[in-house]
Amino acid sequence: MTPSREKILARLPDYAVEIEAANARVTVSHHGTVIAESTRALTVKETKHADVYYLPRDDINMNLFTATDHSTYCPFKGHASYWNLDVNKQHENNVVWSYESPYAEVEKLKGYMSFYTDRTRVQSD
């Protein structure tokens, strides 16, 4: 663990990231076009954040996405990589992200991706 990450975690001892099976069919669409659908999604419950679905990459139509250079860092999950979406002549920048090498505490997220819900429609049933 890096010293800076250690300091952040020490300041937030009650912060939690919980990962559990969604136990639902999760469908992601963009302007009516289904771009992902899974019965193997995970729900991530993180302190001070709304619950977020992560879907296995195998259940996402990756032909619609292009990797970008954009990245972000979370001291609880690691470095996130992003992808653009191009579907039906519509383009969305950095609409989906993934932790390609997540920290050991959230290793279950490896191979899973999550979508911004303000630019896609994410439904579960």
* Cα–Cα distance, 38 to 26 (Å, whole number): 5
pLDDT, tens digit, 9 for 90 and up, residues 7-52: 877 888 888 999 999 999 999 999 999 999 999 999 999 999 999 9
Structure tokens at 39: 């019965």
Structural domain boundaries, residue 17: 3-124
Per the structure, the count of domains in the chain is 1
CATH code for the domain in which residue 92 is found: 2.170.150.40
Structure tokens at 13: 């001892």
Residues linked to residue 53 through DSSP beta bridges, in sequence order: 43
Q: What is the pLDDT, as a whole number, of residue 34?
A: 99
Kindly report whether the global pTM for this prediction surpasses the value 0.85. yes
pLDDT, tens digit, 9 for 90 and up, residues 65-111: 999 999 999 999 999 999 999 999 999 999 999 999 999 999 999 99
